[in-house]
Amino acid sequence: MSYTSQLRELIKRVEKTREERLGHDFPRMTPEQKQDVLNNHHPDYIKDQFRKAKIGPNKGDRFPHELCDVIEGYPAVKWDEIDTSKIDYDVDVLVVGGGGAGASASLLAHEAGADVLLTTKLRFGDSNTVMAQGGIQAADKSNDSPATHYLDVIGGGHYSNVPELVRALVTDAPSVIDWLEDLGVMFDKEDDGSMKTRHGGGTSKKRMHSARDYTGAEIMRVLRDEVLCRDINVVEFSPVVELLMDKEGKAAGAVIYNFETEEYQVVKAKTVIITTGGLGRLHTQKFPTSNHYGATADGLVLAYRAGAKLAFMDTVQYHPTGASYPEQIEGFLITEKVRGLGATPINVDGEQFVYHLETRDVEASAIIRECAKGKGITTPSGMQGVWLDSPMIDKLHGEGTIEKELPAMVRQFARFGVDIKKDPILVYPTLHYQNGGILINDKCESSVENLYVAGEASGGTHGRNRLMGNSLLDILVLGRRAGKNAAAKAQSIDNKSAELNLEHAEKFVEELKKEGIKRTKTSPILIPDYTDGELS
């Protein structure tokens, strides 16, 4: 829907101040002002939006309510319908999830000679990986080094990252790029073959590699094709709903649920790799999200019940500019490049209220504060937003810049009748990334034996804040490591007489009851419910 007449009236106020704003940068915040806006408005700092986990390995730790809700949910599996002695699949390595981490884990496990089953909730490849636009980091140019990359990662993560994981990330990075190139990923290159690289937020060297603005899609479609070309068994629309353990409490398989026939199947595996991605679709604090449909934290729930420890779950990344209008694209990511080119945030009165290139957390908090003051704009569908004055870009850099630099964005808005070259767009922070996850070591082992984790489902690599381009990197670094290590471990395991069981889940239920938690919710939730139209 193009802008309503009320919004058109409000746009006039933005236009009125545009000329006088040109050439006058809004002042940057002082460190004290930054801390103040974070303390008072960043979602991570709002105490009553968190509570202490009542049970499990992180009992007493502070989690968002929405995460507690799924962690304190009752298992969705109906016990009496499952016979764990009737094995439907018997494999060496079970990979749970079909995004970039799952695909790369499968490829490496397969290469190591393992019999692999990849099972995924939606279609293979439908994931956050496919949506990543910006790029992937790797320190492979002569002026750069893994150590420099290390420093950027750990500074960005507020020095809280797990050092061995950061080290794994930066030292494997060049070989990951090499591997992708060899599989046929089309990176942006100079004529002599060297990689075109750019800065991303928080990088000290230009090390962002890209494939136009479809970097994640390009990586995912090549990895998926490669998996399908090999003898790797892929089962789609079959989420894992519970892990299975052996008598010694080690991971030994999983229960998968066939969405279509509504039947459970039992997978026996020597090792299990969780690559189920993040929690965007839990909509923490009712935020819209940039994430794909299946990002409902399932892996966290499953691993937690099996006894795996989580890390950094009290911090979530909100991207300052998600679309808040038109309704059809609420939460959709407006790439940081738009602000990079000079588009500035403007309130309902046509005034700028924050410098446009503060860090993601500060910028997001300032937008939230402005709306809380009543200086935001209410969209026709009831959402809040502020203007992002996109026409400034052509004013600053010349007519045609927007068309040339932001073609995907122009196309996206034009589909719904908004011309971002002429009119500002409405934005509000959107839930973008799960900073934390299941705690692992640099072999991708969780605290549960034979249970490996990779990608956004894992925690520790990015500490309390991830930099752009390091997630596409970590899913491949860790995915490859998980695949290789899980396959090697599988070789030493004899599970012929292993008795698979769900005792860990039964115990978990006992604990829930003991804590007085009622059976009002089940988890993993698998598919978010949008039939009530509150969020989407």
Partner 1 sequence: MLNQKGYEKKQKSNEFVDIYIMGKRYNVPSSLTIMKAFEYAGYTLLRGCGCRAGFCGACSTVYRIAGNHELKVGLACQTKVENDMYLTQIPFYPAHKVNYEIDKLQGDGDQVVELYPEITKCLGCNACSNVCPQDIKVMKYVSHAIRGEISKAADESFDCLLCGLCASKCPANIVQYKVGLLCRRLHGKYLAPKASHIKERINEIEEDKFDKQLDELTNASKDELANKYNNRDIEK
Ligand X SMILES: Cc1cc2nc3c(=O)[nH]c(=O)nc-3n(C[C@H](O)[C@H](O)[C@H](O)COP(=O)(O)OP(=O)(O)OC[C@H]3O[C@@H](n4cnc5c(N)ncnc54)[C@H](O)[C@@H]3O)c2cc1C
Please tell me whether the peptide bond between 391 and the residue prior to it is cis, using omega within 30 degrees of 0. no
- Binder of residue 206, out of ligand X, partner 1, none (CB less than 5 to 8 A by kind): partner 1
Choosing from 281, 339, 360, 369, which is the catalytic residue?
A: 360
Among 122, 165, 420, 482, binds ligand X (CB under 6 A): 122
Burial group, residue 299, by CB count within 10 angstroms (0-12, 13-18, 19+):
buried
Residue 10 touching partner 1 (CB under 8 A): no
Among 12, 60, 78, 229, binds partner 1 (CB under 8 A): 229
- Binder of residue 520, out of ligand X, partner 1, none (CB less than 5 to 8 A by kind): none
Considering only the stretches 35-43, 125-133, 310-318, 488-496, report the one whose residues sit in contact with partner 1 under the rule CB under 8 A. Answer: 125-133
Find the radius of gyration of the CA atoms of the chain. 23
Nearer of residues 56 and 134 to ligand X, judged by Cβ: 134
Amino acid identity, position 44: D
Nearer of residues 42 and 209 to ligand X, judged by Cβ: 209
Residue 30 touching partner 1 (CB under 8 A): no
Footprint of ligand X on residues 187-246 (CB under 6 A)?
A: 215-216, 239-240
Q: Which of 280, 386, 374 is nearest to 324 (CA)?
A: 386
- Binder of residue 415, out of ligand X, partner 1, none (CB less than 5 to 8 A by kind): partner 1
Residue 101 touching ligand X (CB under 6 A): yes
| Residue 281 structure tokens | 């679709």
Sign of CA dihedral 51, 54, 60, 62: negative
Nearer of residues 3 and 433 to ligand X, judged by Cβ: 433
Binding pattern for the stretch 327-346 against ligand X, x by CB under 6 A and - elsewhere: ------x-------------
Among 106, 265, 284, 290, binds ligand X (CB under 6 A): 290
Considering only the stretches 96-104, 144-152, 345-353, 399-407, report the one whose residues sit in contact with ligand X under the rule CB under 6 A. Answer: 96-104
Among 276, 390, 412, 465, binds partner 1 (CB under 8 A): 412
Burial group, residue 417, by CB count within 10 angstroms (0-12, 13-18, 19+):
exposed
With contact defined as beta carbons under 8 Å apart, do 201 and 467 qualify? yes
What is the DSSP pairing of strand 437-439 with strand 458-459?
parallel
Query: Whole-angstrom Cα distance, residue 221 to residue 131?
Result: 11
Footprint of ligand X on residues 297-326 (CB under 6 A)?
A: 298
Convert 302-323 to b/e letters by CB count within 10 Å (16 or more is b).
bbbbbbbbbbbbbbbbbbbbbb
360 catalytic residue (yes or no): yes
Query: Whole-angstrom Cα distance, residue 383 to residue 364?
Result: 16
Nearer of residues 189 and 519 to partner 1, judged by Cβ: 189
Footprint of ligand X on residues 453-492 (CB under 6 A)?
A: 455-457, 468-472, 475
- 197-198: strand order across its sheet: 136-137, 208-209, 197-198
Footprint of ligand X on residues 129-148 (CB under 6 A)?
A: 129, 131-136
Burial group, residue 147, by CB count within 10 angstroms (0-12, 13-18, 19+):
exposed
Query: Whole-angstrom Cα distance, residue 503 to residue 212?
Result: 49
- Binder of residue 494, out of partner 1, ligand X, none (CB less than 5 to 8 A by kind): none
- Report the catalytic residues: 360
Binding site for ligand X (CB under 6 A): 96-102, 119-122, 126-129, 131-136, 215-216, 239-240, 275-277, 290-291, 294-295, 298, 333, 433, 455-457, 468-472, 475, 524
